[in-house]
Amino acid sequence: MQQLILEDYAISVGDISRVLPLFLSERSYSSLLILMDENTRRDCFPLLEPLLPDGTPRQIIEIPAGETHKTVSTCETIWAAMLHAGADRKALLLNLGGGVIGDMGGFCAVTFKRGIDFVQIPTTLLSQVDASIGGKLGIDFGGVKNSIGVFRNPQAVFIDPRFLQTLSKRELYSGFAEVIKHALIADPGHWETIQSGDPAALAGDTQTILRSLGIKQTIVQADPFEKGIRKALNFGHTVGHAVEAWSLQTDRPLLHGEAVALGMIAEAHLSNQLTRLPDRALGDISRYLLHTYQLNALPEDCFPDFIERMQNDKKNAGGRINCSLLEAPGGARIDQYVSEEDIQRSLRYFNACVLRLGTRRE
Amino acid sequence: MQQLILEDYAISVGDISRVLPLFLSERSYSSLLILMDENTRRDCFPLLEPLLPDGTPRQIIEIPAGETHKTVSTCETIWAAMLHAGADRKALLLNLGGGVIGDMGGFCAVTFKRGIDFVQIPTTLLSQVDASIGGKLGIDFGGVKNSIGVFRNPQAVFIDPRFLQTLSKRELYSGFAEVIKHALIADPGHWETIQSGDPAALAGDTQTILRSLGIKQTIVQADPFEKGIRKALNFGHTVGHAVEAWSLQTDRPLLHGEAVALGMIAEAHLSNQLTRLPDRALGDISRYLLHTYQLNALPEDCFPDFIERMQNDKKNAGGRINCSLLEAPGGARIDQYVSEEDIQRSLRYFNACVLRLGTRRE
């Protein structure tokens, strides 16, 4: 069992049965609400259920899986279930699932009766290395990802690598995109390790999770409300979010990490043009990501749609498009304002790479 | 112009034209969003509009007036309007209206793109003396008042007594109930003043507003998250909220302050039974409130409905009913758990008082 101690909560990485019962016995919650989707209820809850104390009332709240359900309407379902269960301010919400469950469940907890405690039990690699630090909670609204939400830390995070065994390879790789991103913005040594290792083995490795969490912790603690350096974590996400949101309306939706991988290629190109990322690093990044992820070229007639989505991104001010770019692997530059033409060129670069390199390494 | 300086914001009481332009010029907001209902747009916005700087984009967001619109659905309307206006994280929301506008607008600001600045410009006596301190934001959900919300302070509050001239006498008196409550829980001298003065004159008086604000400030600063003494402010509200929620479903809805006046009579009776409020004080309170407010007896067959609503109140834990009572005028006792029978007796006491005393002083 390893623990990362943050300012006001701890992240435990290891066997959850060694930490959760103690956490619960040290506190006197009036009831336990467990938020899950049908997948985590089937695959993950069997590991959790024996750890819940018999004496405390519990209520399961099951919602449908998937980003398309990260909505106000699902929040209403969750709030209603909490009210119906008679939950009071001393109730605890346990969010068992990926980023959707954690972000939306956290938001529902923070707003229920003006705030009850919640803990995150992330079950995907993406949520383990990314969503478990930083206190970003929320839902999608008006076609804009995470446009409604708040910042708030959970009371605790429990990361058990055994949950990753329930994931498909595609989902595991999706989470790995954030591991790659953390390395690219702040840890050149880790980027070297990643390039020379086997993605499948690295993606499920406890030490990789801990190293990635450590990078994020350092950045978030330096800037909890995303006024400065924390924006570095948005590398790959300006383009990635826009393409992800678009793809959800097509019949070939991208996973979040796949969209971020695509976004990192486009934004590495922007970095090469605007913040002097060396040609060689651009080539390494593009090649590695296209060999690791199965990505398709983007339709050129959708570029204006992507750009409009970027202009609506909540990170932007005054309609300009703000990116976090790289000056080198391991070195980020925040608050880079890019033009529509820059974005278009970077998307065309991505498409050209797909044509040249886009065969999956097997 | 008088100012109350709180921990992280200031409340200005006086001519808004002397303070708002300075506040705005000291900050560089990217846009101004003004939330109003049809009444405040007509009656209050003419006072505000000339004070807004020409150079900053502005967007009016109008919602229908009334507590029945304090819903998730109206929040969606507000969020959509903010997105549609292209509001970014440096936008400011000005909430021009009563408690519904302030509570719901504040909630929308805090959750929009994980939080933008907001200021409160309360236009009713109720919101001026009550909602402007304490950071309670939220909406009604699932039939429970304010069941969804957060605690967060605004960047500033601007109280201009001229707005009160737009109110009906009934609305002004409704707000005065909170003035009475503040006196009853913490300021026996003010309670004496109130009993000997003319309610109509007192209700619109700047010094009365300031004295009432001062009481609330002292209590909230001692306990911002309502773990202890702040609960004293709930005097009259356990019964009051339940009856108010019920009345909204009848054809004779009560104003909030009317429901609180009724609740204070019932809870003064509980205080007499459980926390030794002297008979004479109980009589003074009941007589004063029934002479000031036009209140009708409550149907006995609705008592179980009221009690169920109280058990669902977010202030309660474990299904028990928690009241804040009085041991004397000016002295509150929090965390008093009362039985269903106690509540029923207090409601019957209220009904008996209405029969005996319920003629409005004119």
CA quadruple B193, B198, B199, B204: dihedral, nearest 10:
-90
Task: Examine the pLDDT at A360 and tell me if it is beyond 80.
Answer: no
CB-CB: which of A30, A111, A316 is closest to B148?
Answer: A111
- Around Cβ B164, how many Cβ atoms within 10 Å? 21
Please give the residue that has the higher pLDDT: either B64 or A357. B64
Give CA–CA dist A193/B246, Å, rounded.
64
Same domain, yes or no: B181 and B199: yes
Tell whether B337 is within 8 A of chain A (Cβ). no
Tell whether B360 is within 8 A of chain A (Cβ). no
Residue showing tokens 């033009």? A339
pLDDT for residue B275: 97
Collapsing DSSP to helix, strand or coil, A145 comes out as: strand
Q: What are the structure tokens assigned to A98, written together?
A: 């990926």
Q: How distant, in Å, are the alpha carbons of B234, B256, B294 from that of B263?
A: 10, 10, 14
Give CA–CA dist B305/A238, Å, rounded.
51
Evaluate whether residue B362 is within a structural domain.
Answer: no
Same domain, yes or no: B68 and B189: no
In which band, very low, low, confident or very high, does the pLDDT at A78 lie, cut at 50, 70 and 90?
A: very high
Same domain, yes or no: A289 and A346: yes
Highest-scoring range by mean pLDDT, A138-152, B257-271, B310-324: B257-271
pLDDT for residue A318: 64
A64 with A36: CB under 8 angstroms? no
Q: How distant, in Å, are the alpha carbons of A180, B13, B66, B133, B164 from that of B40?
A: 53, 19, 12, 21, 11
Instruction: Encode pLDDT of A32-56 as tens digits.
Output: 999 999 999 999 999 999 999 999 9
Tell whether B147 is within 8 A of chain A (Cβ). yes
Q: Half-sphere exposure (CA, 13 Å, Cβ side) for A73?
A: 5
Task: Examine the pLDDT at A283 and tell me if it is beyond 50.
Answer: yes
Nearest of A71, A68, A142, A75 to residue B87 by alpha carbon = A142
Residue showing tokens 């990170």? A315
Evaluate whether residue A349 is within a structural domain.
Answer: yes
Evaluate whether residue A362 is within a structural domain.
Answer: no
Same domain, yes or no: A114 and A217: no
| A287 φ/ψ sector (left φ>0, alpha ψ -120 to 50, else beta) | alpha
Evaluate whether residue A296 is within a structural domain.
Answer: yes
Evaluate whether residue A247 is within a structural domain.
Answer: yes
Which CATH number fits the domain that encloses residue A149? 3.40.50.1970
Instruction: Encode pLDDT of B91-126 as tens digits.
Output: 999 999 999 999 999 999 999 999 999 999 999 999
pLDDT for residue A38: 98
Check if B241 is active-site.
yes
Final residue of a structural domain among A115, A138, A165: A165
Read off the amino acid at residue A51: L
Collapsing DSSP to helix, strand or coil, A112 comes out as: strand
One DSSP character per residue, B297-332 reads: PPPGGGHHHHHHHHHT-TT-STTPEEEEEEEETTEE
Q: Do B316 and A148 touch (CB under 8 A)?
A: no
pLDDT for residue B312: 77
Number of separate domains in chain B: 2
Same domain, yes or no: A225 and A335: yes
Q: What are the structure tokens assigned to B2, written together?
A: 């008088």
Same domain, yes or no: A37 and A122: yes
Q: Tell me A166's DSSP state.
A: G
Check if B84 is active-site.
no
Q: What are the structure tokens assigned to B231, written together?
A: 């609960």
Provide the ipTM: 0.85
Which CATH number fits the domain that encloses residue B324? 1.20.1090.10
Evaluate whether residue B128 is within a structural domain.
Answer: yes
In which band, very low, low, confident or very high, does the pLDDT at B316 lie, cut at 50, 70 and 90?
A: low
Minimal CA separation from A67 to chain B, in Å: 18
Same domain, yes or no: B193 and B138: no
Q: What domain range is B308 assigned to?
A: 168-357
B48 with B19: CB under 8 angstroms? no
Interface test with A, best of B75, B88, B152 (most A CBs within 10 A): B88
Kindly state the helix (H) or strand (E) to which residue A33 belongs, with its residue range: strand A32-37
Read off the amino acid at residue A86: G
CA quadruple B71, B75, B77, B78: dihedral, nearest 10:
140
B347 with B303: CB under 8 angstroms? yes
Final residue of a structural domain among B138, B165, B192: B165
- Say if strands A10-13 and A2-5 run parallel, antiparallel, or are unpaired: antiparallel
Same domain, yes or no: A227 and A80: no
Which positions of A are catalytic?
114, 136, 178, 216, 226, 230, 234, 237, 241, 256
Evaluate whether residue A120 is within a structural domain.
Answer: yes
Q: Do B89 and A317 touch (CB under 8 A)?
A: yes
- Backbone phi, psi, residue B320, to 5°: -80, 160
In which band, very low, low, confident or very high, does the pLDDT at B314 lie, cut at 50, 70 and 90?
A: low
Instruction: Encode pLDDT of B200-237 as tens digits.
Output: 888 888 889 999 999 999 999 899 888 899 999 999 99
Final residue of a structural domain among A114, A147, A165: A165
Instruction: Encode pLDDT of A217-226 as tens digits.
Output: 999 988 988 8
A contact residues 116-135, partner B, Cβ 8 Å cutoff: none
In which band, very low, low, confident or very high, does the pLDDT at B139 lie, cut at 50, 70 and 90?
A: very high
Nearest of A54, A49, A25, A26 to residue A36 by alpha carbon = A49
Same domain, yes or no: B17 and B88: yes
Give CA–CA dist A184/A241, Å, rounded.
18
Same domain, yes or no: B270 and B238: yes
Same domain, yes or no: A267 and A305: yes
Q: What are the structure tokens assigned to B195, written together?
A: 């009993």
Evaluate whether residue B268 is within a structural domain.
Answer: yes
pLDDT for residue B318: 64
Tell whether B50 is within 8 A of chain A (Cβ). no
Instruction: Encode pLDDT of A194-248 as tens digits.
Output: 999 888 888 888 889 999 999 999 999 889 888 899 999 999 999 999 999 899 8
Check if B230 is active-site.
yes
Which alpha helices (H) appear in B58-204, and where do they start and end? 72-84, 99-111, 125-126, 169-186, 188-196, 199-203
Check if B256 is active-site.
yes
Same domain, yes or no: B141 and B172: no
Task: Examine the pLDDT at B20 and tell me if it is beyond 50.
Answer: yes
Task: Examine the pLDDT at A359 and tell me if it is beyond 60.
Answer: no
Check if B237 is active-site.
yes
